[in-house]
């Protein structure tokens, strides 16, 4: 499994999206996860002699799906995505639900349902390479806004992710880390791990570097939403974040 590599494409849009590419370096085949813009993926693949083989979607929001139709115009590719959002994402060819799995070459990919940000949101977990593509459910020191689901749903979704192996690398879709860190500090001003992490994040952002991936271990130490004791506690902190 050492022959897999993950690339970040910085969309440089207002929402600070990243498109993740998972490459099998033996075959130079790639998966595009939540492609915001087709041209960015196509150009990256051309530059690095990569062949796009699959598209994975976590949820229906347009900053995660807008590039799909452009990518499908060039070639017929399997599009994996949430079964519960088929009405919103018509071009899903391989609908997925909780506990489903499929393969990208020799990697087994497992699906975890994480309703909250949207009702059908799913995430992609690949145990063999300790990797989680979690869309807008879990962010570095944050979590997605509750556009569709309840606080209770999101609390349970985050608990599912918190239970993954601690070395799991967390690839979320937005560069919201610094703003999340600043909010987290208002919740836990005396958290030493959080104070240290903020310094690192500030240094990375000053150097215009990506702050991802995180790890489940790091999130358990520094993410106020993963450190809540109850759905009620989670709801309180989420409301504070919405007003921050």
pLDDT at res. 207: 97
Q: Is the peptide bond before 213 cis (omega within 30 degrees of 0)?
A: yes
Please pick, among 63, 100, 101, 130, the residue that the annotation labels catalytic: 63
Catalytic-residue membership of 61:
yes
Average pLDDT over residues 82-106: 97
59 is catalytic: yes
CB burial class (10 A; 0-12, 13-18, 19+) of residue 130? middle
Residue reference for tokens 């959080």: 194
| 118 three-state secondary structure | coil
Residue with tokens 């960015």: 40
pTM of the model: 0.97
Q: Judge whether 64 counts as a catalytic residue.
A: yes
pLDDT in tens, 126-144: 999 999 999 999 999 999 9
Q: Is 7 assigned a catalytic role?
A: no
Q: From the candidates 24, 34, 84, 174, which is the catalytic residue?
A: 174
Predicted local confidence at residue 151, as pLDDT: 96
**Closest among 215, 68, 198, 60 to 136, alpha carbons compared:** 60
121 catalytic per annotation:
no
130 a catalytic residue: no
Q: Which of 24, 64, 84, 121 is catalytic?
A: 64
Asked if residue 98 lies in contact with residue 36, where contact means CB atoms within 8 angstroms, the answer is: no
Which among 41, 17, 21, 23 has a CA at the least distance from the CA of 33? 21
């Amino acid at each position: 499994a050492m022959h897999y590599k993950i690339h970040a494409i910085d969309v440089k849009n207002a929402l600070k999206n990243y498109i993740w590419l998972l490459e099998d370096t033996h075959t130079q085949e790639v998966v595009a996860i939540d492609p915001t813009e087709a041209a960015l993926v196509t150009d990256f693949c051309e530059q690095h002699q990569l062949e796009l083989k699959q598209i994975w979607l976590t949820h229906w929001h347009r900053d995660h799906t807008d590039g799909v139709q452009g990518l499908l115009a060039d070639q017929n590719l399997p599009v994996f995505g949430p079964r519960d959002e088929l009405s919103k994402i018509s071009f899903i060819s391989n609908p997925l639900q909780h506990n489903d799995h499929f393969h990208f070459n020799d990697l087994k990919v497992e699906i975890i349902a994480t309703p909250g940000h949207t009702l059908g949101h799913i995430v992609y977990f690949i145990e063999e390479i300790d990797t989680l593509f979690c869309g807008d459910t879990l962010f570095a020191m944050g979590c997605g806004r509750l556009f569709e689901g309840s606080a209770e749903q999101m609390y349970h979704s985050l608990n599912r992710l918190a239970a993954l192996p601690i070395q799991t690398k967390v690839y979320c879709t937005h560069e919201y880390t610094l703003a999340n860190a600043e909010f987290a500090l208002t919740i836990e001003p005396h958290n030493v791990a959080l104070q240290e992490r903020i310094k690192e994040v500030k240094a990375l952002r000053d150097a215009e570097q990506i702050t991802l991936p995180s790890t489940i271990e790091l999130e358990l130490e520094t993410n106020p939403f993963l450190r809540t004791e109850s759905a009620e506690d989670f709801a309180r902190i989420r409301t504070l974040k919405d007003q921050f």
